Structure 1
Amino acid sequence: MMRRHIKLILGLFLLLSLIWVPVSSTEATAQSQTTVIPQAYRGSWFQPEFLQYRVKMTATTFTFGGGYYEHEHWQPHNQVTYRLSFHVTAGTFTWGKRNARGYHSVKVQGGIFYVKENRGTLFVKQIRQGHDINGYDLTFNQIPHAAQVLSGDVH
């Protein structure tokens, strides 16, 4: 009778340990994700054209979309801003570790952006439903005094 209780207790202990280990490793993975965007990526990055595209990153936000400067004020067009989070939900993103090709993943609801900074240029891949929607890297540059330059106020 005593052996039966010992086997039952050992069986319960084994079952609990099998459940506890995967749960604790998931928590460790979530905690290993960054809580802020690295300094090298912060700021506004522009792809100047008639309708300019901009990527803006702060310590805890990621903004992607079009727009233009008018009288030194940014006029957004189809722009979306996401807040940094540990889990992707509507309006949030997660910042992943650098992969083998040097890109960080920015996971948002409905897709992924891959971003890489190299010598003052930001390279962006935009993935939706597993496909690169542009077929190539988008390139963005930081422009000193962008509000003045892109408004046409500085010659």
Structure 2
Amino acid sequence: MLKKLIMFTGLLGGSVLFSGQALAAADFGPCTPEGGTHIFSATINKTVSDTSKNTTGATFVDFDSWNLGGTYAMSCECPDDTSLINDTLFKAVVPLAFVTNIESRSYYQINNNIAIASDVLISGGRGEYVNTPFENVGNLTNNRSQCSQNAS
């Protein structure tokens, strides 16, 4: 009886594994940046020259901007059927303490006196800035041109 139970469990477990692989094969899978998560950091060094505007609760929209430029390589899993296409989804995380939302922008604490909101350019077919943080924002570029039926 124990032998039959183990065999049945093994067959059942094996069928679950194969089912999981079949379901996963229909999915594109993740893209991951080569060399780990790509971190963008910027130095803000601006002065508010009009001291009448430097008050509690004042908001300076587009106070500073920067273009960090550069690119990074990503490796993506290809679908079994390379005729399938889908855009690439991105995620941006803000590692600071949340302070407040103002006009659909999230502000995060830099120090006791300053909070900041930021946005990131998602290129490709989207070509627009997206307020941070965000998750699963697509670049609206349906392309898997580097996938081929012969790739493993």
So what's the TM-score if we normalise by structure 2?
A: 0.28
Q: Which has the higher strand share?
A: 1
> What is the TM-score normalised by the length of structure 1?
0.28
In our comparison, the structure showing a higher alpha carbon Rg is 2
Question: Which structure features the higher share of helix residues?
Answer: 1
